[in-house]
Structure 1
Amino acid sequence: MAAPALETRDLTVRFGGHVAVDGVSCAFEAGTLTAIVGPNGAGKTTWFNLISGQLPATSGRVLLGGRDISGLPASSRTRLGLGRAFQLTNLFPGLSVRENVRLAVQARAGAGADLLRRWTHRRDLIDEAEDILEQVRLSGRAGTLAAELPDGDQRKLEVALLIALRPRVFMFDEPTAGMSVDEVPTVLSLIQDLRRQGDRAILLVEHKMDVVRSLADRVVVLHNGALVADGPPAEVMESAVVREAYLGLEAALDE
């Protein structure tokens, strides 16, 4: 039987006497989209930081495709196939949209050295970057500086950079945060496209319950750093433990 695409085993982090993530064990399979929900301060982003290597764990393990990556830095986890998008976009603001994507394609292909000369001799990488821009609906803004993009297009560009890295696991931390109502559907459509490909695990931290209902195959609920519920969206959202733990959820469900 194949190993899960991603797994955490008893993953824990303490800050002094405070346990921010408390022995969380959870596995994620390729071809699924899991929403991670919970009240503010529940430990969702901290758990993401432990998985992606931005924060060292106090104890527990992280496995990627069955391989223990617990002791590896964030950069090594990225090279092995763990793709992470943040609440705030992580772009090269002084470079164009096209240059951002080309650099990500080059980095994955190991063609980062001798940037200008080698790039011009790799038509395959140029074509791949252009294909990704088309996939995320940014071909028309290819020459625009990343810093000049509206928030929605910056989110699309961040998705493009993740696609360029070809990760086994996509991790999105509140991808619609700070976006206008008009911009949200485009970014959600991109995530839905990734889900339909069926060969990657997708993890999504999200507060908007309508987004969770529309995208997720599964919902994981954290409260006070612990996993308190895990299952199909309708079942989990209706459970008493979730309604008690996740303040405001009942009102959101009744909208």
Structure 2
Amino acid sequence: MTREPPVLETENLTIRFGGHVAVDSVSCAFERGTLTAIVGPNGAGKTTYFNLVSGQLRASAGRVRLNGEDITRKSVAERCDRGIGRAFQLTNLFASLSVRENVRLVVQSRAGRGFDIFSRASAHVELIERAEHVLAEVRLIDKRDMPVSALPHGDQRKLEVALMIALSPQVLMFDEPTAGMSVDEVPVILDLIRDLKKDRDRTILLVEHKMDVIRTLADRIIVLHNGALVADGEPGAVMRSAIVQEAYLGKAPETASPETVTIETAHD
């Protein structure tokens, strides 16, 4: 039996900015139904790698494949159409519209239906139902009629995830989803990602700096350093490895406590 290709794969993926190599020949495959955490110190190349995968940056060399198809030269929109969805650290929402309308517009766009000023709301019943289904999935259904501007920051992050889900992606990419959140808000987003992970048709990539979060959620950890892939494996083994504990956590292996360590990060 022929084994199906990975849902997502990068082969020798590289980007140079002048003489600086920000991502250095990274080859990695991501299987369906898995959650992979991408970690590393400041400037490691994590967000740049994300940008190459989602299309915000054009690779200097190497390949990105989705379900075996080479999408290296595809635009952000084309990659989105093929099944790559990304949630950013900063929300990008229509603040004056309701929560439901934000999601409905994405559902409508995904369905290939343009805006028709003469159409009646009843003509979009299925779109509204789909929007409300997505809002229920991210636990915002009770706030569907609220203007986005009235939502607290944590709920705006949840709505951003809803917009990504409304695109029906195969690959969900989260770039530090808990950034800027209060202590009370963080568990809500983590529970949401945990629920998304239950759908074995989804493949999740997560850049996160809280090691306790990673240990709880990830099936696998890959470590970037100076743009290169230096570790890849099961979370416990990777976090116990000398290269992580010494180079990134600044502790000797025998004294390190990965569960309580936070890797300080910034946009790469």
What TM-score bracket applies, with the shorter chain setting the length?
A: over 0.9
- Report the equivalent of 2:206: 204
Partners in 1 of 2:230 and 2:165 — Cα distance? 32
Q: What is the letter of the counterpart of residue 253 of structure 1?
A: P
* Change in CA separation of 1:118 and 1:10 when aligned onto 2, cut-off 3 Å: farther
Closer/same/farther in 2, CA of residues 249 and 189 from structure 1, 3 Å limit: farther
Measure how far apart 1:74 and its partner are. Answer: 0.5
Deviation at residue 186 of structure 1 after TM alignment:
1.0
SS for the counterpart of 2:119 is: helix
Amino acid at match of 2:51: N
Tell me, yes or no, if structure 1 residue 93 matches structure 2 residue 98: no
Residue from 19, 22, 32 that aligns with 2:21 = 19
In the other structure, the counterpart of 2:65 is 63
In terms of fraction of residues, the more helix-rich structure is: 1
- Paired with 2:45 and 2:120, the residues of 1 have a C-alpha distance of 43
The yes-or-no answer on 1:154 pairing with 2:156 is yes
Q: Determine whether 1:217 maps to 2:226.
A: no
C-alpha separation in 2, matches of 1:176 and 1:249: 25
Aligned to 2:54: 52
TM-score (norm 1): 0.96
Residue type of the partner of 1:242? V
Contact 2:219 2:235 (C-alpha < 8 Å) held by counterparts: yes
Aligned to 2:232: 230
Q: 1:253 aligns with which of 255, 258, 262?
A: 258
The answer to whether the 8 A contact 1:209-1:252 is kept is no
Letter in 1 for 2:110: R
TM-fit CA distance, 1:119? 5.4
CA deviation after TM superposition for structure 1 residue 123, in Å: 1.6
**Closer, same or farther in 2 for the Cα pair 1:117/1:12, shift >3 Å?**
same
Question: Deviations 1:7-61 (Å, cap 9, x if unpaired)?
Answer: 1010000001100000000000110000000001100000000000001111111
Paired residues, what number? Answer: 255
Q: Secondary structure in 1 aligned to 2:36?
A: strand
The corresponding residue for 2:265 is none
2:130 to 128, 131, 136: 128
Deviation at 1:148, TM superposition (A): 2.5
Q: Please, which runs of 5 or more residues in structure 1 have no aligned partner?
A: none
TM-align CA RMSD: 1.5
Evaluate the alpha carbon distance shift between residue 121 and residue 11 of structure 1 in structure 2; reply closer, same or farther with a 3 A threshold. Answer: same
1:116 CA displacement: 6.2
Using a 3 Å threshold, how does the CA distance of structure 1 residues 224 and 108 change in structure 2: closer, same or farther? same
Partner of 2:108: 106
Structure 1 209/115 Cα, relative in aligned 2: closer, same or farther at 3 Å? farther
Post-superposition offset of 1:113: 3.3
**Larger displacement relative to structure 2 (220-229 or 243-252):** 243-252
Contact 2:212 2:259 in 1 (8 A): no
How many Å separate the matches in 1 of 2:120 and 2:248?
A: 52
Distance 2:251 2:80 in 1: 33
The code of the aligned residue for 2:243 comes to V
Q: Determine the structure 1 residue equivalent to 2:144.
A: 142
Q: Which residue type is aligned with residue 192 of structure 1?
A: R
